């Protein structure tokens, strides 16, 4: 399985600013804020020189996490200190194992319509106690 197939899921995760995936079977994929593309390209070059399985780079108020999984290398930009940083490595490992299909966004539940203030309204027949 390839991380490349799940790039949209990774890019849609809360807090992710940009993501790039370097796969030997595909051209390099990128999603996110375009200004991060050259930074991620340079980060992947640096990662290739380290011999590590994962590295973190702090750049101003952002962190770049680069990780290798199943032959693919992924680089993700997120705000430094964001809560997703704790689970990002595990998320990448899981996305590398199984294709997730299309990304769907969950809809927030609709709040009930508020009544205008200042006036009294009669309760609906369902709200009235039944007469005996």
Which pair of structure tokens corresponds to residue 84?
């997703």
Q: Output the pLDDT for position 98.
A: 59
Cα–Cα dist 44/21, whole Å: 9
Cα–Cα dist 96/80, whole Å: 24
Q: In tens digits, what is the pLDDT along the chain, a chain of 132 residues?
A: 467 677 787 888 889 999 999 988 888 899 999 999 999 999 999 999 998 999 999 999 999 999 998 888 999 999 998 888 777 888 887 777 655 555 555 433 444 444 444 445 555 455 555 544
Cα–Cα dist 98/89, whole Å: 15
Q: Output the pLDDT for position 111.
A: 43
Neighbours of 30 (CB within 10 A): 19
Q: Output the pLDDT for position 12.
A: 85
């Amino acid at each position: 399985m390839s991380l490349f197939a799940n790039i949209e899921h990774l890019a849609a995760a809360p807090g992710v600013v940009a993501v790039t995936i370097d796969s030997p079977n595909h051209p390099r994929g990128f999603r996110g804020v375009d200004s991060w593309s050259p930074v991620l390209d340079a980060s992947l070059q640096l990662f290739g020189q380290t011999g590590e399985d994962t590295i973190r780079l702090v750049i101003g108020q952002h962190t770049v996490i680069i990780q290798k999984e199943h032959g693919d290398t992924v680089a993700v930009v997120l705000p430094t200190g964001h809560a997703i940083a704790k689970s990002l490595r595990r998320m990448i490992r899981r996305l590398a194992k199984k294709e997730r299909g299309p990304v769907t966004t969950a809809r927030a539940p609709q709040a009930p319509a508020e009544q205008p203030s200042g006036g009294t309204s009669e309760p609906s027949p369902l709200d009235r106690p039944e007469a005996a």
